[in-house]
Amino acid sequence: MSPSPVPQATDDASLVLAAREGDRAAYGDLYARYARMVHGILLARVPANDVDDLVQDVFLRALPRLCGLRDAAKFGPWLAAITRNRANDFHRQTRTIAASTDSLSEDEAELPASKPASTAEATRILSFVRSLPDAYRETLILRLVEGMTGPEIAARTGLTPGSVRVNLHRGMQQLREKLSQAALDTSMQPHARSSKNSAASDKNSLRRRTEP
CATH number of the domain encompassing residue 43 = 1.10.1740.10
Mean pLDDT across the chain: 78
Instruction: Please give the pLDDT value at position 191.
Output: 53
d(CA 61, CA 178): 36
Confidence check: pLDDT of 155 > 80: yes
pLDDT(100) > 70: no
> Is the pLDDT confidence value at 86 over 80?
yes
CA torsion 202-203-205-209 (nearest 10°) is: 140
State in Å, rounded, how far the first CA of the chain is from the last one.
Answer: 18
Average pLDDT score over residue span 68-88:
94
C-alpha–C-alpha distance, residues 26 and 130, integer Å = 33
Domain span at residue 148 reads 5-209
Pairwise pLDDT comparison (140 vs 212), residue with the higher score:
140
pLDDT band at 166 (very low <50, low <70, confident <90, very high): very high
Number of domains in the chain: 1
Phi-psi region of 20 (alpha: psi -120 to 50; beta: other; left: phi over 0): alpha
Do residues 38 and 24 touch, judged by C-beta distance below 8 A?
Answer: no
CA distance linking residue 109 with residue 89, whole number of Å = 24
State the sign of the Cα–Cα–Cα–Cα dihedral 76, 78, 79, 80.
Answer: positive
Give the pLDDT score at 119: 64
Please list, residue by residue across 59-82, b when 16 or more beta carbons sit within 10 angstroms of its beta carbon and e when fewer do: beebeeebeebeebbbbbebbbeb
> What pLDDT, on a 0 to 100 scale, did the predictor assign at position 208?
52
Mean per-residue pLDDT, 114-141: 77
Residue with the larger pLDDT of the pair 173 and 97: 173
Which residue type occupies 198? S
The share of the chain scoring above pLDDT 90, in percent, equals: 49
Nearest to 176 by CA among 129, 133, 143, 130: 129
| 0.75 exceeded by pTM | no
Phi, psi of 129 (to 5 degrees): -60, -40
d(CA 174, CA 14): 40
Residue 138 has pLDDT above 80, yes or no: yes
pLDDT at residue 179, rounded to an integer: 84
Residue 8: per-residue pLDDT: 61
Q: Residue 11's pLDDT is what?
A: 87
Specify the range with the lowest mean pLDDT, choosing from 49-53, 61-65, 89-93, 167-171. 89-93
pLDDT of residue 58: 96
DSSP class of residue 45?
T
